[in-house]
Amino acid sequence: MSEVVAKQSQVANDPQNIKNPSLRWMIAFLFIVSFLGLFSVLPLRKIMIIDFKLTYPSGTATAHLINSFHTPQGAKLAKKQVRTLGKFFSFSFLWAFFQWFFTAVDEECGFKNFPTFGLKAYDNRFYFDFSATYVGVGMICPYIINVSVLLGAILSWGIMWPLIQNRKGDWYHDPSPSNLDSIQGYRVFIAIAMILGDGLYNFFKVVAQTIKGLSRQLRNKDSSTILPLADRSSPQELCSSFDDQCRTQLFLKDQIPTWLAISGYIVLAAISTASLPHIFSQLKCYGKLAIFTIGAWAGKYHGGVLAGLAACGVMMNIASTASDLMQDFKTGYLTLASPRSMFVSQVIGTAMGCVISPSVFWLFYKAFPDLGVHGSAYPAPFAIAYRNMSILGVEGFSSLPKNCLLLCYVFFAGAMIINAIKDATPKKWAKFIPLPMAMAIPFYLGSYFAIDMCVGSLILFVWQKRNKAQADAFGPAVASGLICGDGIWILPSSILALAGVKPPICMRFLSKGTNDKVDAFLGS
């Protein structure tokens, strides 16, 4: 009887057993949880943007780009930037189309498996895969991000994983790449430990600063004033430029009432709490930390894995929409746009995303049967990582291979120590200290995209040395064209896959010894 229960639990907890996910329920799930994040950050917008003057890089870059369009020089430059973007968009799209012809048989075919540094390095995922997307990302990301990713790749795939593989039979036994009791357990959970260490450090840092700012405002405000403050300026604002004073005045003038933010959050949270169990029966009530606690609470024989993943989906949606809204508020602050208009626009965009995102996923799900499978074109690495986290929350640490937990402790503490050193070091030296979050990404994915991103950084670096003004003006346009063209090709490739159209050629790379055996076999 216990074996039957265990088998039923395994089937219920394995997301790969969900053969027919409903598009309708996916859309309903997003509508239930996605709007919570929008209301959760409204009371904090003044503290984050005006008092703390947080950068919000994407929102700031967007604002500067918009502002530059509204000058005579900016309008002329914008036209040239659009032409440059179009050229590299076309190049990237045609390059992706060209590569498609050489991927006939499986994912080991094509340019993206080119053994740039030799077959041994290729086996450890060190190669350049000719991805225009990652090259473009490398041109946009700061140098320290790309260097951190490369350092993480060298540390993991260049040093740690080869050493751990030599311990096969002692530290781990299972050769399956998707099982936790294999080297995959080290790859996934050490990366998770670094991400959690970095995330918790910055979380407590931001919380401490927020509490400090709130307490300062509460001590100095009048009894009739509620957050966010609209009628007083901080000392920093009094010393700021006239432009900043105008931005602050407009940003605080067109307010969204605090009572609306609080009541909206409470109502949506109540609706979510009541509705989610009808979508995920394992989730009786409500991130990465939630995936452990909810999974362990639901238990192994009551769908704990799915409950943990559902809770993680809720928290990640809330965090994502909240982050996007704060980026938009930063853009609105710098462009003198109405915060109320930014909020309404974000609500409309979120509603559209609740329909568009599941529809795109549905297209991928139907076009690529191996979606989410290790080694496929779209392995969905973070989905596998989250699933393994949920399994760990249900089954406990006993499912991990030998010494994996110890290594997780070491890298968790290391991420916090690196962040602490970075904060304590003067800025002129701190900018050279790597970022643990970026270092953790290649621990699971591999080194290929780190090399692509560093190639993008190298292109931009050489360009800036030759003509800094031109590189600063057209670098983002070139990067955006490379990313968009390669990304847009996914749509026609999905349509071709749905229509059953296969590429005509498989380009594969073999060692000399393997090639001799193939030739001998074909000649016999």
**Residue 455: predicted pLDDT:** 93
pLDDT at 273 over 50: yes
The candidate with the shortest Cα–Cα distance to 401, out of 164, 124, 125, is: 164
**Both tokens of residue 288?**
């990465």
How many CB atoms are closer than 10 A to CB 333? 24
The answer to whether the bond into 228 is cis (omega within 30° of 0) is yes
Site of tokens 């193939």: 518
- Residue 478 vs residues 142, 185, 485: alpha-carbon distances, Å: 16, 38, 11
pLDDT above 90 covers what percent of the chain?
A: 13
d(C-alpha 481, C-alpha 475), whole Å: 10
Residues present in the chain in total: 524
- DSSP state string for 270-307: HHHHHHHHHH-TT-S----HHHHHHHHHH-GGGTHHHH
Helix (H) or strand (E) holding 370: none
Q: What is the mean pLDDT of residues 369-397?
A: 70
**Residue 293: predicted pLDDT:** 53
Domain ranges of the chain: 2-15+30-523
Q: Cα angle at 52 between 241 and 34, to 5 degrees?
A: 120
Give every CB contact of residue 194 below 8 A, 6+ residues apart in sequence.
Answer: 411, 412, 414, 415, 436, 437, 439, 440, 443
Of 13-22, 260-269, 325-334, the one with minimum mean pLDDT is 13-22
d(C-alpha 159, C-alpha 268), whole Å: 48
SS (H, E, C) 354-419: HHHHHHHHHHHHHHCCCCCCCCCCCCCHHHHHHHHHHHHHHHCHHHCCCCHHHHHHHHHHHHHHHH
**Residue 107: predicted pLDDT:** 66
Type of residue at 156: S
Site of tokens 């990640």: 316
pLDDT at 296 over 60: no
**Residue 277: predicted pLDDT:** 73
d(C-alpha 327, C-alpha 315), whole Å: 18
**Residue 307: predicted pLDDT:** 66
Q: Are 422 and 205 in contact (CB under 8 A)?
A: no
Q: Regarding predicted confidence, which is higher, 180 or 154?
A: 154
pLDDT at 229 over 50: no
Q: Are 14 and 282 in contact (CB under 8 A)?
A: no
Q: Are 197 and 415 in contact (CB under 8 A)?
A: yes
Site of tokens 């405000």: 221
Q: Is 506 helix (H, G, I), strand (E, B) or coil?
A: strand
Type of residue at 263: S
SS (H, E, C) 330-341: HHHHHHCCCHHH
Type of residue at 465: K
How many CB atoms are closer than 10 A to CB 93? 20
Q: What is the mean pLDDT of residues 374-401?
A: 70
- What is the pTM assigned to this prediction? 0.69
